[in-house]
A and B are shown apart, each in its own frame.
Chain A
Amino acid sequence: MLELLNVTAGYGSITALHGVSLRVEKGTIVTLVGANGAGKSTTLRAISGLLPVREGKVLFEGKELTNKRPHQIVACGLAHVPEGRMIFSNLTVLENLQMGAYLRRDRAGIASDQEFVLETFPRLRERTWQQAGTLSGGEQQMLAIGRALMGRPRCLMLDEPSLGIAPLLVKTIFEKIVQVNRELGLTVLLVEQNAHLALEVSQFGYVLETGRILLSDRSEHLKTNPAVQAAYLGA
């Protein structure tokens, strides 16, 4: 469904990705684990068009997305929940969700998806008229995911959904990620520092180190791989 072929990208004179190739099969959860600065977020930014791809290709459902602009890439059905959540803090929860459906015109569909999001994240329903900036970190993450779902994407990219969130809410959020993956058949590409959690919910995983793919395997195999255990699982 989503494929990267030898993608190189970077910031200024620094090359952050050195020819990254990966595949995300339809309906699966694939995770990208690695240390801080390994290039995980950079990979997502290159896919969603926030960062130019210098070499290589990004393919989504057979179409080439390489260096299209972010708004064109979202329109193709590929949503990106960025690191740090980036909710619109001065807009209400409801307006944030409306922004998620920005490119859609089907009012009935938007309304039913909004209902689905509020059903999935009941905490948001209690706060629909609140300014999003007043939500807790975990609630903001739920809002960021809900907002992305409002665009009815076919593939969802999540960047560090557990970052800075109370452990109890992390559990809830990961349950929801698995739930939408199953119920909507939504393909998920998950970037996560908490490798333990990420390998738990995913079917396939890539290990990224200093801008290169070091390992790729089924998640259950990666979990038992001694090198992965030593470096990322703290075993």
Chain B
Amino acid sequence: MNELLQQLINGLSLGAVYALIALGYTMVYGVLRFINFAHGDVFMVGAFTGMYFGRWLKPLAAAWPEWLFASTVLLVSMLSCAILGIVLERLAYKPLRERPRLTVLITAIGVSLLLEYAGQLVFGAAPRGFPSLITSSSISGIEGLHASNIQVIVLVVTALLLWGLHLVVMRTRLGLAMRALSLNPTAARLMGVNTNVVISFTFGIGSALAAAGAIFYASLYQAIDPFMGVLPGMKAFVAAVLGGIGSLPGAMVGGLILGVVETLVVGYSQLLGIPPGYRDAVAFVILILILLFKPSGLFGKTMREKV
């Protein structure tokens, strides 16, 4: 029982990271109807920004409380990635707005490769250690149950970010415009929505959430490299499809489910007879199953146009 709880804690903290990345996929899909395959690499840039900025800030912030230091690094990384996301959209995707979706999709793969290899050039190919933002300690309440404080912080801060996102999307004017644009772009333009502004805003928010995911991921696993975004990016994409692409609650739930399932498969690999090396295959088996049995995902609506 305790072991199951233990696995759930591990799974949820990993799932939180997937959920944060998945939101970016799903939001961009909502407004532009394309999958931004470079999203996982924005996540990677978020981790490196956090690493460099954290190292630079550490001596200056020696007297600061730890939470202030950690949240400054988090915010700076989120902000930098928001800007990166907006700039990428303007440079790479906006000129192709009127072109077929496939053109944009292929461009996104190109942007992804560009970021990965530019990352290799700038940051080096070898894995780097991520500075610890919060001194890690073990919280053990029940016997045999260990959660690191970082796991708990990741879950709490993710919950706060998701709540903030919910408020932005449901309560603000720009959030309403974003929902309107995803439902009917033509009508949204006729209401006075400047689509460029909303699209930039969407990329900004999505990329900032990916950066937050990256800081959490790097804090949990400590090592980062220029290709670290590939697998989490693909898995978060699966999470977004699992939840129903275009659905925000879907991306959140899909991410958590994926994190938990992946962790359980590894944790109970002997029992299940699946070697732990297959952990990365789990997401893609799930993807195949969804595409076979429920392509619209858990929260997705089958699109039916009413004339």
* Residues of A that sit less than 8 Å from B by CB: 48-50, 69-71, 74-75, 79-80, 82, 84, 86-91, 95, 98-100, 102-103, 133, 147, 151, 164
Contacts and interface: CB of A to CB of B under 8 A. Distances in A.
Contacts of B189: 49-50, 69-71
The 3 A-B pairs with the shortest beta carbon distances in the complex, nearest first, are: A86-B187, A103-B192, A70-B189
B307 A84 contact: yes
B192 A102 contact: yes
Nearest to A135: B306
B192 A86 contact: no
Nearest to B194: A71
A74 B191 contact: yes
A50 B184 CA distance: 13
Contacts of B179: 88, 90-91, 95
B contacts with A: majority SS: helix
B271 interface: no
A86 B173 contact: no
A79 B184 CA distance: 16
Given A95-B176, A102-B173, A102-B177, A87 B187 contact: yes
B120 to A, nearest CB: 40
B193 A102 contact: yes
A78 B306 CA distance: 26
18 contacts: A69-B194, A70-B189, A70-B192, A74-B190, A82-B187, A84-B307, A86-B187, A87-B184, A87-B187, A88-B183, A89-B183, A90-B301, A91-B176, A95-B179, A99-B188, A102-B191, A147-B191, A151-B191
B186 interface: yes
Contacts of A48: 190
Contacts of A86: 184, 186-187, 190
Given A71-B189, A86-B186, A99 B306 contact: no
A71 B180 CA distance: 14
Contacts of A84: 307
A67 to B, nearest CB: 14
Nearest to A89: B183
Contacts of B307: 84, 164
Contact of B190 (A80, A91, A133, A164): A80
A90 B183 contact: yes
A50 B176 contact: no
B56 to A, nearest CB: 41
Given A82-B186, A99-B191, 20 more contacts: A49-B189, A69-B194, A70-B190, A71-B193, A80-B190, A86-B184, A86-B187, A88-B179, A88-B187, A89-B306, A90-B301, A91-B180, A95-B179, A100-B191, A102-B191, A102-B193, A133-B306, A147-B191, A151-B191, A151-B192
A147 B186 CA distance: 14
A75 B193 CA distance: 10
Contacts, number: 70
A115 B180 CA distance: 22
Contacts of A151: 191-192
A70 to B, nearest CB: 4
A91 B173 CA distance: 14
- Sort chain B's interface into a size bin: 20 to 34
A contacts with B: majority SS: loop
A75 B179 CA distance: 20
B176 to A, nearest CB: 6
A99 B176 contact: yes
Contacts of B306: 89, 133
A161 B293 CA distance: 40
Interface string B182-211: 011011111111110000000000000000
B190 A79 contact: yes
A69 B179 CA distance: 20
A100 B193 CA distance: 10
Contacts of B301: 90
Interface in B244-264: none
The residue among A48, A74, A88 with the most chain B CB atoms within 10 A of its own CB is A88
B191 to A, nearest CB: 5
Contacts of B177: 99, 102
Interface in B70-111: none
Given A102-B173, A133-B306, A88 B180 contact: yes
Contacts of A164: 307
Interface in B157-176: 173, 176
Contacts of B192: 70-71, 74-75, 102-103, 151
The residue among B179, B180, B187 with the most chain A CB atoms within 10 A of its own CB is B187
A50 B187 contact: no
Contacts of B186: 50, 82, 86
Contacts of B180: 88, 91, 99
A87 B183 CA distance: 9
